[in-house]
């Protein structure tokens, strides 16, 4: 737009609006800046969308990798007990599907040893007569265990309370494996000893008791668990039993010698179903997000989505749709997702429903879990999840993945734009300062013009009256208009 100045205004002494004039001149040169800034906004919008889709793609890879893992959910085994009140069990992936019969004859127990009541109380010396020393030999771990010799000294550990404290200190410092306490009732106070280990290793007994008035009752506990698995007897120092059934850990809850507990080991359908649902959810999130970039406004008014023509996104969308249609051969008819009851909708998303035979995924899994596993993962690495995971690994590659490559290119172009804009800003700032300086000088001259005009007029008037007595000369000229 041309710059217009009024002669009557600038010659009146008002001068010019330097800032406005400079801005008008500069604005003629900053049109390209708006284009660059618009490109930056476009790149920023695209980057946000691409990053979100890349995150969805990574989430899908995590879900598919779980289906492809040889130690993941598809190989998980579960153990179900017919009597959880007697025993429960946990199976790992090495467990073999089978049904076992278990009888829990007895539980592993910790050893307990206590004295008869001391009527005089827990703070009275239990040394015999006026003796000042005594001793107690404590056996930990039955006859083949370790003997702990306890020296009794008057004033040191000759009461129930001080003896219990001494035993606890020694047990902590020297790993005696037992705990002492004092219990009281209406008949007096007792010293009670408890082993920290179960089974025969925790059995307690008194080897000798010299110069004390303490009487120890018959020891209790300190026995191994006894159980019969599929007719084979087992003994365990713990109520957590491993080794009796391959890949299965038994937890004994109560003894029930006359009851036969049925333990069923098989595929963990809960974990498998969750893994499949996680895959479907992650897949649908990605496809649904991608679909928003291909939405068509029937009125033709709304602008096209930011990534509508993005070739990288189209490549990703095409690839994952093809992966979802992957099929294998044979496998008892479980050859694709639809045969498992996982169907493709018109928009490309998936729904866990029923297959052509009317079977739900849960029914298909219950009927043939090995075929379901083989569909997703096979020893030859050609299963659905195997193939899909390989493709996703390429798609999410930090350097070769199409979306990450697009993001890298966008960021490089944004950096170039930022450099160009910064350089342009520096140039405009310098030019603005130069123009401002120039027009400040012009403005100063224009503002001094009326004073200059007045001075010239006065000078000319003086020249016109400097002739002395001449009366024939004409009147002196008077300057009334601008130069």
Q: Are 54 and 228 in contact (CB under 8 A)?
A: no
Q: What is the pLDDT of residue 37?
A: 80
Pairing type for strands 232-236 and 146-153 reads unpaired
How many alpha carbons fall within 13 Å on the CB side of residue 103? 10
Q: What is the pLDDT of residue 479?
A: 44
Under 8 Å CB-to-CB from 181, ≥6 apart: which residues?
164, 191, 192, 194
Q: Is the four-CA dihedral 386, 389, 393, 394 of positive or negative sign? A: positive
Q: What is the pLDDT of residue 21?
A: 80
How many angstroms separate the Cα of 219 from the Cα of each of 192, 202, 204, 256? Answer: 11, 11, 6, 24
The residues spanned by each domain of the chain are 36-72+270-294+304-403, 77-108+225-267, 110-210
* pLDDT tens, residue order, the chain (483 aa): 455 566 655 666 666 778 888 888 877 777 788 788 888 888 888 888 889 999 999 999 999 999 999 999 999 999 999 999 999 999 998 999 999 999 999 999 999 999 999 999 999 999 998 899 999 999 998 767 899 999 999 999 999 999 999 999 999 999 999 999 999 999 999 999 999 999 999 999 999 999 999 999 999 999 999 999 999 999 999 999 999 999 999 999 999 998 999 999 999 999 999 999 999 999 999 999 999 998 877 777 778 888 888 899 999 999 999 999 999 999 999 999 999 999 999 999 999 999 999 999 999 999 999 999 999 998 888 999 999 999 999 999 998 899 988 888 888 888 888 888 888 888 888 888 888 888 788 878 777 777 777 777 788 878 765 555 444 444 444 444 443
Q: Are 280 and 350 in contact (CB under 8 A)?
A: yes
Q: Is the four-CA dihedral 302, 305, 310, 315 of positive or negative sign? A: negative
pTM over 0.85: no
What burial class does residue 390 get, using C-beta atoms within 10 Å of its C-beta: 0-12 exposed, 13-18 middle, 19+ buried?
middle
């Amino acid at each position: 737009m041309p710059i217009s100045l009024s002669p009557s205004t600038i010659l009146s002494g008002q001068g010019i609006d330097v800032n406005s004039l400079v801005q008008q001149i500069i604005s003629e040169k900053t049109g390209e800046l708006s284009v660059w800034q618009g490109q930056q906004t476009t790149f920023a919008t695209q980057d946000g969308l691409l990053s979100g889709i890349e995150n969805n793609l990574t989430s899908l890879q995590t879900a598919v990798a779980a289906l492809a893992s040889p130690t993941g959910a598809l190989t998980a085994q579960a153990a179900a007990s017919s009597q959880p009140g007697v025993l429960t069990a946990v199976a790992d992936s090495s467990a073999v599907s089978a049904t076992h019969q278990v009888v829990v004859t007895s539980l592993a127990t910790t050893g307990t040893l206590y004295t008869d009541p001391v009527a005089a109380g827990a703070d009275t010396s239990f040394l015999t007569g006026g003796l000042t020393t005594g001793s107690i030999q404590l056996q930990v771990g039955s006859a083949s265990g370790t003997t702990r010799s306890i020296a009794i000294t008057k004033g040191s550990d000759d009461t129930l309370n001080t003896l219990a404290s001494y035993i606890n200190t020694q047990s902590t410092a020297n790993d005696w494996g037992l705990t002492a306490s004092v219990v009281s009732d209406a008949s007096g106070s007792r010293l009670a000893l408890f082993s920290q280990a179960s089974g025969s290793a925790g059995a307690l007994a008194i080897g000798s008791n010299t110069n004390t008035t303490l009487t120890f009752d018959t020891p209790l506990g300190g026995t191994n668990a006894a159980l019969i698995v599929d007719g084979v007897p087992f003994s365990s120092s713990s109520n957590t039993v491993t080794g009796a059934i391959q890949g299965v850990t038994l937890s004994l809850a109560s003894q029930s010698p006359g009851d036969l507990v049925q333990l069923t080991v098989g595929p963990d359908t809960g974990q498998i179903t969750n893994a499949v649902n996680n895959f479907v959810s992650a897949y649908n999130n990605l496809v649904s997000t991608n679909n928003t970039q291909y939405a068509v406004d029937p009125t033709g008014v709304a602008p096209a989505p930011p990534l509508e023509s993005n070739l990288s996104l189209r490549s990703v969308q095409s690839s994952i749709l093809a992966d979802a249609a992957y099929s294998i051969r044979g496998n008892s008819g479980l050859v694709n997702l639809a045969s498992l009851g996982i169907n493709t909708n018109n928009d490309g998303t998936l729904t866990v429903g029923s297959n052509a035979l009317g079977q739900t995924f849960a029914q298909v899994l219950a009927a043939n879990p090995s075929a379901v596993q083989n569909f997703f993962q096979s020893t030859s690495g050609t299963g659905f999840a195997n193939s899909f995971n390989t493709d996703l690994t390429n798609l999410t590659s930090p350097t070769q993945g199409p979306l990450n490559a697009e993001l890298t290119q966008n960021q490089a172009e944004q950096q170039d734009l930022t450099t160009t804009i910064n350089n342009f800003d520096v140039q405009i700032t310098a030019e603005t300062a130069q123009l401002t300086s120039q027009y400040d000088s012009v403005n100063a001259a224009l503002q001094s013009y009326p004073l200059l005009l007045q001075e010239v007029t006065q000078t000319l008037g003086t020249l016109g009256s400097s002739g002395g007595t001449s009366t024939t000369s004409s009147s002196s000229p008077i300057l009334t208009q601008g130069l």
